[in-house]
Structure 1
Amino acid sequence: MPRLRLRHRAHPVELGRIRRRIGRWATQSGVPEDVTIDLQLAVGEAVANGVEHAYGTEGADDGTVEVEMEVRDGLPSAVVVRVADHGTWRPAPQSPGFRGRGLLMIDELAQRVQVLCSPGGTEVFFEIAYPA
């Protein structure tokens, strides 16, 4: 199955579009429905972090987020994901209150989670495995 590649502006309205596109791609790729739901949630959290934190309020119209994913066949199979922005990493506040749980959620839903920060932006990598 071909790789899914999406590039959207870093704006909250894009989150629904991204989730719908992931759902269609996952169905066409034979990804089980429960895995698709976890995938949409985890990617949604990673994208939301880029939208909310990477660009700040002034740059939000100029920023973009990218999503790439592909199915890796095997035992188990997995959807391998990369979400990237080109903004600036902002460390989490010491007391996030009721917020700041996106990466924790991704950790619960996915495996091999990595967050790489550089002057060129932030990349979040993870995979969600499922029985073949």
Structure 2
Amino acid sequence: MRYETLCKITEYDYDLSDSEFVEYARSRGAMNTAFTAGSPHREYVKNYWLTEADYIADQRKGVSHAQLYEGYRYKYTEAERRSNWKLVRLARAKLQDCWEIYRRTVEPTPKPVPLGQATLF
């Protein structure tokens, strides 16, 4: 799905506690964009009710600061953090798209109920 289309997805109901869905999403490459398991970024992908304001206010390493490199931990600028938030949103959107496809494949399509004349009156 194109970037512009993914950015339009703003409502989510995917379930990362569903191990079958997670495996399905992994097989479709959707988990590759969802960051490393256990990372603060994955938490923002999993808990899709968390907002950009929550993300910007988060002072944990990995969100506000980069990995330790040569004894120094670089602090992200606000612009860099907003760019990282876009990645969280894209991961959420990709998972939502995957979730909707997954649900259609695992949930049986309801069969129409035949309505006879006796049923109509």
Q: Please, what TM-score do these two structures have when normalized by structure 1?
A: 0.28
The structure with more radius of gyration: 2
Name the structure with the higher strand share.
Answer: 1
More relative contact order, 1 or 2 (CA 8 Å, 6+ apart): 2
Q: Please, what TM-score do these two structures have when normalized by structure 2?
A: 0.30
Name the structure with the higher helix share.
Answer: 2
